[in-house]
Amino acid sequence: MTRSAPRKIVSASQAVSSIMPGSTVASAGVIGWVTPDSVLGALGQRYRQTQSPRDLTFYFPCGTGDAMGIKGMDHVAQEGLMKRIVSGSYINPVDPKTGKRPELMRLIRENKIEAYSWPIGASMHWLREVARKSPGYITRVGLGTYADPRHGGGKFTARAQDDLIRIISIDEEELLYYPTWPVDVAILRASSADEHGNLSWEDEPLLTANIALALAAKASGGKVIAQVRRVVGNADRTATQVRLPGVYVDEVVVDPDMMMTTDVPYEPAYFSGHRVDISTLKAPPFSTDRIIANRIAPEVRKHELGIFGFGAATDVPLVMAEQGLFENGQLADYPGTTEHGAYGGIVMPGWQFSANLNPDAILDGVTQFDAIDGGLCPFTALSFAEFDAQGIVNVSKFGSANPGAGGFIDIAQNAERLIFAGTFTTGGLRCDVVDGRLVILAEGKVKKFVQKATSITYRAQEGVVQRGQNAMIITERAVFRIAPDGLELMEIAPGIDLQKDVLDLMDFAPVRIANPLPLMDGAHFIPLEAQTRKQANA
């Protein structure tokens, strides 16, 4: 007589009850997507009630949770519980209900914890090295950036004293080396599990680093906890649907009511359980970000894989859809993805960023960064917070925000054509368009073209010189080319005064200004519906 395997279904509080003080706890999510919020919440609640376990190291390959309705890593952002955090990105929204920033950001700003920020590619690939018991992860990506020990080594607080990233030399080439350490507990999220813990992600739009997390923990002699929406029978799925065998899963927590992501309880179009008519999608509202997206759209080429980063650039696919460029099956001519592995369909903006509507395929996060680091995403449009006189782009640390790099460094370093997108200034900028002319109603208090960037996220001018990259900066009022010797001003918005609205707001001067200086296309400053009415009345 064969004895059946014991059931692995437990409550969230039971699942976290065995986590020991001093452990490394790793989890994965992408903002609200695939975030095991119930289990992370139970761990935070356990500490509030018992003051145990203490001094945990938390490892998040990407910013996990929105710190609002899906709190994610904000659940465990408690002094005493969290000693150290290593994350590929951090999030810093204002909760509209409370008016507060994330608790994790407070702990970082007040130096209450050891906080490190790694590029997401490194944070994903590092897990694979833990899983195969390698001494560490070695890469060229990130040399000369804030991840480089000579520029901070990814340390985001003064308490962060250990050198988690080192410089090594192989065949006289400098490389970044990330030593490994054991992962004691991995907390995953999937769609469904059977009683043996076999996991599938059939109605999740992203896999992120879940599989790598599980293998890293098991190779370390650790524990794997999986949160799922439902339990299914052993024979209810084909073996090809099961992405993680139950032998690598210790406990399963069932949460039938878990949100798919921020503001989205459940939408099958994000994994192509059904497909929406893209002509019904709402276009981005007319704004400075929309103007920027309008200007980026003509730079997108057919049959060239484009990877879009968070911010103004994510409006581009919706702008192109509104312009009718995807009609009659032409969407397939403009392949798009993000660093998180969804291919095809429409890259979405805002809190829905990272997953695509109507995707054609979904790669896991580790494999996606193999593709990115291998240069398989030749075109990218990314946001920027600062650009300095040395040709350095910063998105990782500025003002009171410490978002980290996300996938920015991997993407920027390995693309062929780059666009950095964002408003010309920030902090209160208000604009309007009157008769097709851009009007600055209130200038932003913070300059973005600065003498020296606060943090080095990417050396864009160096990429142009050393790797032959083609790079542009697109704002609502000016378009620049990053040349080998500095910035060239290539276009200016209609209605903008070159001296007052551009040059006086830069801490350094462009090396060249096109003469004559072309105006940006006036169509970028007219909402499409207004253009349609104008054409109808002509």
Which residues are identified as catalytic?
Answer: 339
**Rounded to whole angstroms, how far apart are CA atoms 114 and 506?**
35
For 34-150, list the strands marked E by DSSP. Answer: 56-60, 82-87, 114-117, 136-139
390, two tokens: 């040395």
Instruction: Classify 219 in phi/psi space as left (phi over 0), alpha (psi -120 to 50) or beta.
Output: alpha
Q: Which residue in 535, 505, 498, 359 sits closest to 427, CA to CA?
A: 505
Q: Which residue in 41, 47, 38 sits closest to 79, CA to CA?
A: 47
Q: Which residue has the tokens 């009415």?
A: 533
**Rounded to whole angstroms, how far apart are CA atoms 108 and 275?**
41
Q: Which residue has the tokens 């990877």?
A: 307
Phi then psi for residue 213, to 5 deg, are: -60, -50
279-301 in b/e burial notation, b at 16+ Cβ within 10 A? eebebbebebbbbbbbbbbeebe
Crossing angle of helices 210-219 and 120-131, in 10° steps, is 40
